[in-house]
Amino acid sequence: MRRVIVDCAVYRDGHREDCPADFSGALGQARAAGDAFLWIGLHEPTEEEFARVAGEFRLHPLAVEDALKAHQRPKLEVYDDSLFLVLKPVRYTERDSTVTTGELMVFVGDSFVVTVRHGEANPLRTVRDQLEHAPEVLRQGPTAVMYAVSDAVVDHYLEVAEALHTDLETLEAEVFSPERGPGGRTARRIYAFKRQVLEFRRATGPLAEPMARLAGAGVPFVHAGSQPFFRDVGDHLTRTNEQVDGLDRLMSDVLAAHLAQTGVRQNDDMRKISAWAAMVAVPTMIAGVYGMNFAHMPELGQVWGYPVAVGLMAGIVLGLYRFFKRRGWL
């Protein structure tokens, strides 16, 4: 069991104390003290490993099932004995410009917090360190942890949005560059970028409703003094969602511009091909006529017949070339 417990501590009057092995005893003491709570952090527990924690804290079976299976959308569920918040922290890999999402479940109840993490994206270590240096925040109880975790996740959203915007500017420059590479490679990059934006949107978009509920009144286990903090998180999330919407619109514009440029380039290529085909067709036609080998054909017996035919071919081709050049087809 200890291998899945990333950290465990009792916080009394905003200060950390060692976590005893007996969770139920520590929880009872925290509730009796009135100014303490227990925070347990787990990483990808199995059903058997999580069963003890779920039993000690009387977590709802549906929430336990969601925490174990993961692959949940951001949401807030209210149960009799706890709140259940699902967050999707994101990680941006600059090397290949990809966004990967993890999952972070937060259970908050009477004098306890249980966090369950899936994936590599992990803001919890930083959050715990920051909170332990801010006892005035920890004194608000388990709600402070839920706020701090949400704030860390959403603030990182803003950083990822900025990184994606930088990548989009690079992609725009490539699309509109006169010396860009093959169109197929650019199109693949655009669609790959759209997939990253979509993955990011799945993490940020659904979280707006839970943050609005936490910022309002009437949600159990939420300290009244923490509502302004959740409103601040909601404001940051709104900025993030606006940036994601802007990225999506810009990507659609970039894709439309790329397709338009591809169409224009194809038309240019077709005009060039048609022009060269016309210039080749004229001498081919003349040579074909005089290659039919009929006995009685004009100029066959003339000494000047061959140079006149060749000159006629060259003159017509030169005239067509100059005509197509003036029209911009070549």
Q: Residue 218 in 3-state DSSP?
A: coil
Residue 154 has what pLDDT?
A: 94
Count other Cβ atoms within 10 Å, centred on residue 258: 21
Q: What is the pLDDT of residue 148?
A: 92
Residue identified by tokens 């500017």 is 169
Whether the model pTM is above 0.85: no
* DSSP state for residue 227 in the 8-state scheme: H
Tell which phi-psi region holds residue 60, choosing left (phi > 0), alpha (psi between -120 and 50) or beta: beta
Span 176-186, pLDDT tens digits: 776 655 555 77
Provide CB contacts within 8 A for 168, sequence distance 6+: 193, 247, 250, 251, 254
258 within 8 A of 190, measured Cβ to Cβ: yes
| 23 to 65, 88, 125, 213: CA distances (angstroms) | 21, 27, 21, 30
SS3 217: coil
Q: Which residues contact 287 (CB under 8 A, 6 or more apart)?
A: 309, 313
**Length of the chain measured in residues:** 330
Q: How far apart are CA 24 and CA 330, in angstroms?
A: 84
Instruction: Give pLDDT, residue 147.
Output: 93
Nearest partner of 75 among 238, 210, 205, judged by Cα: 210
According to DSSP, the residues that pair with 106 across neighbouring strands are 85, 115
Residue of 157, 189, 184 lying closest to 170 (CA atoms): 189
Task: Compute mean pLDDT per 10 residues along the chain, 330 residues long, and list them.
Answer: 73 86 78 87 87 88 89 91 93 82 92 88 80 88 92 92 87 71 69 87 93 89 86 94 89 78 73 79 76 68 73 81 76
Confidence at residue 1, expressed as pLDDT on a 0 to 100 scale: 47
Pairing of strands 112-118, 36-43: parallel
pLDDT for 307 equals 78
Q: How far apart are CA 22 and CA 27, in angstroms?
A: 9
Instruction: Delineate the domains of the chain, giving CATH numbers in brackets.
Output: 5-261 (3.30.460.20), 263-327 (1.20.58.340)
Q: What's the confidence (pLDDT) of residue 306? A: 72
